[in-house]
């Protein structure tokens, strides 16, 4: 097959297409978005077709993928790490039902929080659900492990998690694809007791899941993706996923005699790890994310041979890098060489010290963006009130928290603007105002609005509708053109569903409308509709 | 053969285009490539960089280690300086001179140029003017690619073929403009 230069995310996508998926189900989120986008482009017009339309949120995506699996076909479901919090109910219970057609969940974690509100490590979820986790080290493995994951999923009748991180997702390398597989035939599962999680069935299923654990461990022991890279030194490295690359970069550059055990498949191959670690006096545990395995290996046993994020050999937080591994491994090898770290021309780049002339360049709302005119209108409408609290949400408009607007008071999780404003209104805060984007509103805002309607909470919701999921690059938004109907359907009084167009020329009128609704002692919605300037540019091209 | 190149600038300047063209050229020569990019929030007017590694041997890390880059190729002078921790002591800075300075605390152009000069081997390019000469102010990135061409370890012919392939879908006029921009840049360092 012809070699391709692919992002890690694209390698996953190509791997899924070539593994014969019937559909991909996903909600956009950095760094996972490119997987679904690639599948959309690459399978357009394919026969048989591959489903690839965006889902409303990660939970609906996961459940639809589970339905494909029930029908005997292969489905891929993709999300960013915090998306799995939204899909967690479906995810945990899919481990109890098990699967029929192969189901691979790709979760893209974001250590260092390049574009996220936390750096949670999805491997905890995989361990929690007691399913296999695959963690590729490079783009070729990402490609191959998707097919391997589908085979494993069907063999073990369990969902399989493929965990990648920002760096792998957004880095390109040459990938050699394999011969593509055909899609599975439609073959719905008739074993009802497996799928009906009434307590009596669920107890049996849970035992079946527990009984599979030894077999899963055995597959890890024999996995082609877990292997030793030899060396004869006294100290060794246990490296997981992409951390292998940083360790090997240091070992090969400095010619260090450090043995390395590479792990890319979980549950942990316990025998392999025991045999490997027994030989060494010190073992560096290099893993991207939380010190999950390190904590397990240390346990309560007082085994002090392990080095890593917990004892400060590596930082407790943030993404790994070649420099961090170099510092740890050169200390290990007791080598006095001049390091890259010391060669650099600034005081301490690891602490983010750059040349003193360099000013920070924080992300900004684009010139001409509708959110800008909206935030100015909100600020001026709120001027009359002593308490200036505006509950915000996840999207481009979170940047309204930064100067010059400084409008937004909170940003926690998808949909939290409406529900936090509702709680604050219940607690007596006036006015209770929140701003939510169109895609975030359909993702997780509608149920919160229903709560507010049922409680008659005095609350004003501004839906900043730019017609797209802008932050992640302009994916289709689930409710475009239907926000009035949705809000009316949820029960908001029609007289208090207002529409504005956030443009400079409408500023005074918009301020008046916002003020009127802030004064209303009930649930009101203001739909602020103006297309994202990037989408507009693309359309005009 | 092994080259570690940092390509830097501000979101929207065409950094990933330069990276993609070098990638294509490197693949044409059968070289290994790893190229880490920035997507997501930082693209909203933030600093953007790409770590590009090309080699005849296997490449491990997607990130260039600190102090190992052979070249910082920047479309913006302050952004060149931001990447300095990655530059090898023998490394080279090639940067466009026009500032993208609409931010708080942007330094004076003189101070910037003095600081860049102090790093050693460097080249300042008035890419904006050359891009206009080539026929489009949008082709500054290709001028910069041309100026960097002799330091990439890839011949100009292979790079020109990659430029042609990359822009082919956009039509002959755009291919021609970008090739002109590349050549005007390349003349500076021939």
Residue A404: asked if its preceding bond is cis (omega within 30°), the reply is: yes
| pLDDT bucket at B40, cuts 50 / 70 / 90 | low
Q: Which residues of B touch A322 (CB under 8 A)?
A: 61, 63-66
Contact between A108 and A31 under an 8 Å Cβ cutoff? The reply is yes
pLDDT for residue A104: 98
Which tens digit of pLDDT belongs to each residue from A57-74? Answer: 999 999 999 999 999 999
Q: A249 at the B interface (CB within 8 A)?
A: yes
Helix (H), strand (E) at residue B94: strand B87-96
Cβ distance of B85 and A345 shorter than 8 Å: yes
Contact between A260 and A228 under an 8 Å Cβ cutoff? The reply is yes
CA distance A174 to A7: 9
- Domains in chain A: boundaries: 4-211, 227-351, 370-540
pLDDT exceeds cutoff 50 at A346: no
Which tens digit of pLDDT belongs to each residue from B135-148? Answer: 999 999 999 999 99
- Residue that the structure tokens 């500023």 belong to: A507
Dig out the tokens for A172 from the structure: 């390109």
pLDDT for residue B43: 63
CA distance A48 to A182: 9
Cβ distance of B37 and A167 shorter than 8 Å: no
Residue in A37, A32, A240, A50 with CA at minimum distance from that of residue A134: A240
Residue in A55, A121, A113 with CA at minimum distance from that of residue A84: A121
Q: How far is CA B187 from the centre of its chain?
A: 16
**Widest CA span of chain B, in angstroms?**
45
* CB contact set of A311 (below 8 Å; sequence gap of 6+): none
CA distance A212 to A279: 30
Residue in A48, A83, A4, A80 with CA at minimum distance from that of residue A413: A83
Residue in A133, A103, A105, A132 with CA at minimum distance from that of residue A35: A105
| pLDDT bucket at A375, cuts 50 / 70 / 90 | very high
Torsional sign, CA A364, A365, A368, A374:
negative
- What does CATH list as the number for A4-211? 3.40.50.970
Contact between A55 and A61 under an 8 Å Cβ cutoff? The reply is yes
Of all residues in chain B, what percent carry a pLDDT higher than 70? 97
CA distance A328 to A243: 13
Q: Which residues of B touch A326 (CB under 8 A)?
A: 65
- Can you give the length of chain B in residues? 190
Q: Which residues of A touch B106 (CB under 8 A)?
A: 359
Model's pTM, two decimal places? 0.95
- Residue that the structure tokens 């360790």 belong to: A247
Cβ neighbours of A118 (radius 10 Å): 12
pLDDT for residue A541: 61
Chain A segment 290-329 residues within 8 A of B by beta carbon are: 321-323, 326
Q: A229 at the B interface (CB within 8 A)?
A: no
A398 CA to chain B: closest CA distance, Å? 11
pLDDT for residue B42: 59
Among 3.40.50.920, 1.10.1420.10, 1.10.3720.10, 3.40.190.10, name the CATH number for the domain at A227-351.
Answer: 3.40.50.920
Two domains, one topology: A227-351 and A370-540? yes
**Pick from A33, A168, A363: CB nearest B46:** A363
Q: What 3-state DSSP class applies to A479?
A: coil
Contact between A414 and A86 under an 8 Å Cβ cutoff? The reply is yes
Cβ distance of A357 and B111 shorter than 8 Å: yes
Q: Give CA separation, A157 vs A1, A150, A160, A205, in Å.
A: 30, 10, 9, 12
pLDDT for residue B41: 60
Contact between A79 and A109 under an 8 Å Cβ cutoff? The reply is no
Which tens digit of pLDDT belongs to each residue from A311-342? Answer: 999 999 999 999 999 999 987 766 545 444 44
CA distance B188 to A478: 51
Greater confidence (A540 vs A497) lies with A497
Greater confidence (B43 vs A387) lies with A387
Q: What 3-state DSSP class applies to B112?
A: helix
Cβ distance of B32 and A242 shorter than 8 Å: no
Mean pLDDT for A76-88 is 98
When computed from its CA atoms, the radius of gyration of chain B, rounded to whole angstroms, is 15
Helix (H), strand (E) at residue A472: none
Q: Where do the DSSP E strands lie in A357-409?
A: 390-391
Q: Give CA separation, A317 vs A21, A30, A80, in Å.
A: 36, 19, 18
**Topology classification of domain A370-540:** Rossmann fold (3.40.50)
Q: Which residues of A touch B89 (CB under 8 A)?
A: 343, 345
Q: Which residues of A touch B46 (CB under 8 A)?
A: 361-364
Which tens digit of pLDDT belongs to each residue from A505-538? Answer: 999 999 999 999 999 999 999 999 999 998 888 7
Cβ distance of B61 and A253 shorter than 8 Å: no
CA distance A453 to A511: 24
Cβ distance of B87 and A355 shorter than 8 Å: no
Strands A390-391 and A433-437: parallel
Report the Cα–Cα distance between both ends of chain A, in Å, rounded: 35
pLDDT exceeds cutoff 90 at A11: yes
Cβ distance of A358 and B23 shorter than 8 Å: no
* CB contact set of B22 (below 8 Å; sequence gap of 6+): B5, B52, B54, B145, B152, B154, B159, B162
Nearest Cα residue in chain A from B36? A171
Report the Cα–Cα distance between both ends of chain B, in Å, rounded: 21
Which tens digit of pLDDT belongs to each residue from A413-437? Answer: 999 999 999 999 999 999 999 999 9
CA distance A324 to A350: 8
DSSP per position, A207-273: HHHHHTHHHHHHHHHT-TTSEEE----SEEEEEETTHHHHHHHHHHHTT----EEEE-EES--HHHH
CA distance A442 to A444: 6
- Domains in chain B: boundaries: 2-189
Cβ distance of A170 and B47 shorter than 8 Å: no
Contact between A354 and B78 under an 8 Å Cβ cutoff? The reply is no
CA distance B87 to B66: 7
* CB contact set of A428 (below 8 Å; sequence gap of 6+): none
- Residue that the structure tokens 């019937």 belong to: A22
Of all residues in chain B, what percent carry a pLDDT higher than 90? 83
* CB contact set of A265 (below 8 Å; sequence gap of 6+): A132, A133, A134, A135, A219, A220, A223, A225, A226
- What does CATH list as the number for B2-189? 3.40.920.10
Torsional sign, CA A216, A219, A221, A227:
negative
pLDDT for residue A331: 79
Greater confidence (A399 vs A345) lies with A399
Nearest Cα residue in chain B from A339? B67
Greater confidence (A384 vs A210) lies with A210
Secondary structure letter of residue A51 according to DSSP: B
pLDDT exceeds cutoff 80 at A243: yes
**Pick from A170, A361, A366: CB nearest B36:** A170
Which residue out of B8, B39, B53, B54 would a mutagenesis test of the A interface target, given it has the greatest number of A Cβ atoms within 10 Å? B39
Q: How many CB pairs under 8 A join A and B?
A: 155
């Amino acid at each position: 097959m012809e070699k391709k230069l692919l992002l890690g995310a694209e390698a996953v996508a190509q791997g899924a297409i070539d593994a014969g998926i019937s559909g991909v189900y996903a909600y956009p989120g950095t760094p996972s978005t490119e997987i679904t986008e690639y599948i959309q482009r690459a399978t357009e017009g394919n026969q048989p077709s591959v489903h690839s339309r965006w889902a409303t949120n990660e939970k609906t995506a996961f459940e639809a993928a589970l339905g494909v699996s029930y029908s005997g076909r292969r489905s891929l479901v993709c999300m960013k790490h915090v998306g799995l919090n939204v899909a967690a109910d479906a995810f945990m219970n899919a481990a109890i039902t098990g699967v029929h057609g192969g189901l691979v969940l790709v979760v893209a974690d974001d250590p260092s929080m390049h574009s996220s509100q936390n750096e949670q490590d999805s491997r905890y979820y995989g361990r929690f659900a007691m399913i296999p986790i695959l963690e590729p080290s490079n783009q070729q493995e990402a490609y191959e492990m998707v097919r391997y994951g589908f085979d494993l999923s069907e063999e073990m009748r369990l969902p399989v998690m493929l965990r990648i991180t920002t760096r792998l997702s957004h880095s390109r390398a040459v990938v050699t694809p394999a011969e593509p597989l055909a899609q599975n035939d439609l073959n719905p599962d008739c074993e009802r007791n497996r799928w009906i999680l009434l307590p009596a069935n669920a107890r049996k299923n849970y035992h079946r899941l527990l009984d599979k654990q030894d077999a899963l461990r055995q597959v890890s022991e024999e996995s082609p993706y877990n292997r030793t890279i030899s060396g004869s030194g006294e100290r060794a490295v246990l490296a997981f996923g992409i951390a292998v690359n940083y360790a090997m970069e240091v070992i090969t550059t400095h010619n260090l005699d450090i043995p390395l055990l590479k792990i890319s498949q979980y549950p942990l191959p316990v025998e392999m790890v025991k045999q490997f670690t027994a030989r060494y006096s010190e073992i560096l545990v290099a893993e991207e994310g939380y010190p999950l395995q390190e904590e397990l290996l240390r346990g309560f046993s007082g085994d002090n041979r392990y080095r890593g994020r917990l004892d400060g050999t590596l930082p407790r937080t943030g993404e790994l890098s070649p420099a961090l591994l170099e510092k740890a491994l050169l200390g290990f090898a007791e080598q006095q060489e001049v390091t890259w770290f010391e060669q650099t021309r600034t005081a301490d780049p690891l602490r983010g010290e750059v040349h003193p002339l360099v000013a920070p360049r924080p992300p900004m709302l684009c010139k001409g963006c509708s959110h800008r005119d909206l935030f100015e209108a909100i600020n001026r409408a709120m001027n009359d009130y002593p308490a200036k609290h505006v509950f915000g949400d996840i999207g481009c408009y979170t940047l309204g928290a930064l100067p010059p607007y400084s409008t937004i008071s909170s940003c926690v999780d998808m949909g939290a603007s409406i529900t936090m404003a509702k709680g604050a209104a219940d607690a007596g805060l006036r006015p209770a105002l929140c701003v939510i984007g169109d895609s975030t509103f359909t993702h997780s805002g509608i149920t919160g609005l229903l709560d507010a309607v049922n409680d008659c909470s005095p609350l004003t919701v501004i839906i900043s509708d730019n017609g797209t999921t802008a932050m992640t690059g302009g994916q289709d938004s689930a409710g475009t053109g239907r926000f009035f109907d949705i809000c009316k359907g949820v029960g908001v009084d029609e007289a208090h569903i207002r529409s504005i167009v956030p443009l400079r020329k409408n500023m005074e009128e918009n301020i008046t409308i916002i003020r009127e609704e802030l004064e209303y002692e009930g649930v009101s919605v203001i739909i602020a509709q103006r297309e994202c300037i990037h989408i507009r540019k693309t359309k005009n091209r | 053969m092994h080259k570690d190149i940092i390509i830097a600038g501000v979101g929207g300047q065409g950094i990933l285009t330069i990276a993609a063209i070098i990638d294509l050229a490197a693949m044409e020569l059968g070289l290994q490539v790893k190229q880490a990019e920035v997507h997501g929030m930082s693209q909203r007017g933030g600093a953007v960089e790409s770590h590009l590694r090309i080699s005849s041997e296997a490449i491990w890390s997607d990130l260039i280690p600190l102090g190992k880059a052979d070249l910082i190729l920047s479309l913006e002078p302050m952004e060149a300086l931001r990447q300095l921790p990655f530059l090898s002591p023998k490394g080279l800075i090639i940067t466009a001179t026009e500032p993208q300075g609409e931010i708080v605390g942007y330094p004076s152009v003189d101070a910037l140029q003095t600081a860049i000069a102090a790093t050693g081997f460097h080249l300042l390019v008035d890419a904006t003017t050359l891009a206009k000469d080539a026929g489009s102010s949008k082709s500054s990135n290709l001028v910069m690619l041309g100026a960097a061409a002799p330091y990439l370890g890839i011949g100009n012919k292979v790079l020109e073929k990659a430029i042609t392939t990359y822009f082919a879908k956009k039509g002959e006029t755009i291919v021609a403009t970008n090739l002109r921009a590349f050549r005007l840049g390349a003349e500076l360092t021939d």
